[in-house]
Structures are given as structure tokens and as C-alpha cells.
Amino acid sequence: MAGITGPCPQCNSSISSPHQEGFPKQTVQPSYAQDDSQQFIQQQPLQQLKATGEAIRPEPRLVTAKSQRPEEAHQQVEAYVRVNDQQLAQNIKHTSRAGVSVPSMQKKQKSVLWLRLLIPLLIFLALGKGFFTLVKFLKDDRELTTNQPPLTARSSIEETIAQPAIPKESELPAIQITPIINPTIDKNPPVAETNQQPTPPLGHEASALLKQFLSAKTFAERKELIFSKKPPNELANSILNRPWPISQISPGSVIPHPAEQLVEYYYEVRFRENSMNFPKSATVLIQQRGNEPPKIIAEPIIDCIGGALVLYAKNPQDQPRDFHVIMDARINCYQDTIPNAAKKSTFYFRAHYNGDDLAIAYANQQSETRQAFNSPLEGLKWKNPIPVVVTLQWNTIEDPKRPFLEVIEIKAKDWNP
């Protein structure tokens, strides 16, 4: 069968047996039913070997099936083909599509793996350093804050300012001064006595004044502690001429007025249960002008604490009247007993910002009082309790059967006399 060319029984490719001298080339279709003297040769195709890049192997081994049957010879050829296919697959594993060897690809994969591990590690180290820096900064700032002295008043602030070093008297150079004698000038002029006392803490005098006022029992004891435009006989007939129930005070707002050289101190006074019908809490105003001693404004005390507003709002009166109150205004009216309630606004009057209502008054939408809340220049806002001086009057004309308390005018937006 030397020189015979025919199809492979496994892959159906054309194969040839080695050519020997004296035998011409022949092309036959092999039949597996021939006798045992036939010979079969399996040779790897040249194109597959070129694709793998390997050298052509030596001549294939001749399989003789002289003593074998055709079926056994066929099985032997199939086994030979499988061995060559396995070897070809192993050779292909060592070569990539681009001709790069597998070991080089493994090296690249290892380098990429190191980069994937190195980048998170660097990020973690950077975050750790930033956290350590932040903790150290907060610790240093806390130590700096705890080591500084507290600043509780203006005098404390001035003490913290570095003062220049003043040399001692012994360190100063001796300087001789020749006095100039003038016969027209007295040699020994009188020296003004200065008994300057240290400045008390802010509001200290006001607090002491209010405590003295609350503990007094007569008008004579309170007369020098208050300021009022009312006549003395009216003040003497008010609650200022009676002992007051036990109370507690709390400082509130401090409002300076530099142009007027005026400082206003607002205090909250809380009363226990008493038989004088005092409100549970009330606002007291103390004013101090320049170097004058502070004074308590008496009008809010008489109107709110003394019950003057409650008495006026209890029954209809003929004449309007001014009151010093804390006013909380609302844009609408939901009281059905008030005539034309849908066209009115509501005003609550109290002795303290969060206290109980002492009286309730109303104003028409077309009134000047109502229009003042629409002007930004007036500074009036809804639901914003403020101390005011307001003029009230009983309205018995709109509906004589349902009289109500009406706001005629807001004279002032503070209690400054």
C-alpha cells in the first residue's frame, strides 16, 4: 500500500502512506473489507502542524494488520488518531491566538492581581492617616480650650489681652525736674477726691433693684425704685402699696440704645398661688440711662400684674384707655360671638410672652391697626408677641347686643416712657 492516498476513517481528511521505490503512486478508496495483507497509515495533516508552529514529526509508524482482522486494524488507527489529537491539544494550550506564550500571560495576570491588591491598600493607608490627623487636631483643640480661662464678662476679656510690661519705679532713670513758679497760680490747688468703685457685672444693679422692689411692703419703700408718669396718689392706691406674694426672677433680654444712652433689662417674675389674682408669670422692665441708677417702669406692673387691664375688659366702658401689655396678633378671627368675625383680626394681651391671656380685642380689616401689619416699615408681624402700648375701646355701635373690645391704635412698640 506504499504511496496510496485516501480519506482518514476518523476525520475524513486525505492521508498518504510513505512512497517506496518501485511502487507507483495510486489513489484508491480504502475498503475495510480487504484482506489482512492490507496496510493502513495515519499521518497528521501538514496544515494542522503549520498552524501549531511545530516542526513536522518523523515518518509515521506503519501499522500492519497482517495477522489482524479489519475491525481490529480500524480500532488501532482510531487509537493512533486520538493520541495525536491529544498531543495537538496540549501544544495548542501553550500558544495563544496572538502567538503569546502562556507563561507570559500568567505573569501579566499576576501583575494585574498585585495592582488590584495594592490600590485598596494605598487608599486604606491614606484614610488611616487622615483619621489620625483629625483625632490629633481635635485633641489639641480640646486641650487648648480647657487651658484657657473662661470669659464671663467684659472685664475677663480685658484681662486676657496682653499688657505691655511696666518697669518698676526703681528701674526708671532719675530725672530732675525744675519747678516753674508762677505767683498768680496757687501752689497747692485743691485735689478732687475720686472714689471710683469697680464696675459691677452687667445687670447686677438691675437684679438687686428688682429683688428689693419685690420684697418691699409699702409704696414709700418702692417710690424711689420706680419710674412712672402717673400721679403719686394714683400709684399709692395701686398694688404698689401692698406686700406681694413670694416670687422668683429670671433675667431675660438686654437691649441697649446707644443713641439715647439707655439700656433696657427685661426680667421674668413667677408668682406662687396667691389671693391677689396675680398672673403666674409676668414681664418686668428695668431701664438705666447713662450713669443714673436703674428704675423699674411701673405702668406694665399696674396694667398687667395689678389687674387694671382685666378690670377694663370685664365690662364695657365709655372712655378709651392706654395699656402696657404683651401683644400677640393673629390675622383672622374665629369667634362667632363677634360681629362680622370674618372681617376682623384678633389681638391677645398678656403679662408675659408665654402667659395666659388677660384680654382679647379685635380690629376691622380696613382699620389703621390692621393695615399697619401690611407695612414693612412698621415692623409688626403676626404671631410675634412684643411689648406695646395700645389704646383699647369698647365697641357698642356695630352690634349693641354683642359689644366687643376693639383696638383703636398701637401707640408704641415698646415700653419706653
Percent of the chain with pLDDT over 70: 62
Q: Are strands 295-297 and 321-330 parallel, antiparallel or unpaired?
A: unpaired
So what's the pLDDT on residue 77?
Answer: 57
Residue type, 409: E
Helix (H, G, I), strand (E, B) or coil at 168: coil
Q: Kindly indicate the confidence band of residue 151, based on its pLDDT and cuts at 50, 70 and 90.
A: very low
* Highest-scoring range by mean pLDDT, 130-134, 185-189, 195-199, 300-304: 300-304
Residue-level pLDDT at 67: 46
To the nearest whole number, what is the mean pLDDT of the chain? Answer: 75
For residues 320-349, give the mean pLDDT.
Answer: 95
Identify the CA nearest to 412 among candidates 306, 344, 325, 353: 325
- 14-16, strands of its sheet edge to edge: 14-16, 4-7, 26-27
pLDDT digits (tens, 9 = 90+) for 355-405: 999 999 999 999 999 999 988 888 899 999 999 999 999 999 999 999 999
pLDDT tops 90 at residue 193: no
Overall residue count recorded for the chain in this entry: 417
pLDDT of 251 reads 93
Range from 35-39, 227-231, 339-343 carrying the lowest mean pLDDT: 35-39
Q: What pLDDT does 124 receive?
A: 82
> pTM value?
0.53
Tens of pLDDT, residue by residue over 250-309, are 999 999 999 999 999 999 999 988 889 999 999 999 999 998 999 999 999 999 999 999
